[in-house]
């Protein structure tokens, strides 16, 4: 494999991680799909009240940041220089890798397919926006 990896540009990574978290907060809020998510995931309002939301948000920074770092690496290795290319990579990552991995939750945990579609929808939106930010800003 012949590619040259440039040094990380901190700013697109930071803004992509933040956008990932903001999209997730909005996606799973009652404004958009929060009520459906609770229904599909069989979670109640009481269950949510038991969760330390500050700790969850702080811990959520880890997978959000890691996912955009890996997305950044793939975009650099693929030498993506256009929004169209960013959308192709974002879609492959979210649906191709994320969605097929989450399919195991449907198969083995008997989770509803609607929950899978909702979660993949979030990944699709978040990762495509991150891919565009990284590509345009690099």
pLDDT, mean of residues 18-32: 94
DSSP string, 52-101: -HHHHHHHHHHHHHHHHHHHHHHHHHTT--SHHHHHHHHHIIIIIIIIHH
pLDDT at 10 over 90: no
pLDDT, mean of residues 46-66: 86
pLDDT per residue as tens digits for the range 68-119: 999 999 999 999 999 999 999 999 999 999 999 999 999 999 999 999 999 9
pLDDT at 20 over 90: yes
What's this model's pTM, rounded to 2 decimal places? Answer: 0.88
pLDDT at 4 over 90: no
pLDDT value at residue 52 = 78
């Amino acid at each position: 494999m012949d590619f040259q990896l440039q040094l990380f540009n901190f700013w697109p990574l930071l803004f992509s991680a933040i956008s990932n978290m903001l999209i997730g907060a909005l996606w799973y809020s009652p404004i958009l799909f929060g009520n459906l998510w609770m229904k599909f995931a069989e979670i109640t309002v009481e269950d949510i009240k038991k969760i330390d939301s500050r700790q969850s948000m702080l811990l959520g920074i880890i997978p959000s940041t890691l996912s955009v770092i890996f997305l950044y690496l793939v975009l650099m290795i693929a030498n993506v220089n256009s929004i169209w290319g960013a959308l192709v990579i974002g879609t492959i990552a979210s649906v191709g890798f994320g969605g097929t991995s989450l399919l195991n939750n449907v198969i083995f945990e008997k989770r509803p397919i609607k929950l899978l579609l909702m979660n993949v929808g979030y990944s699709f939106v978040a990762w495509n926006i991150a891919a565009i930010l990284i590509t345009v800003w690099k």
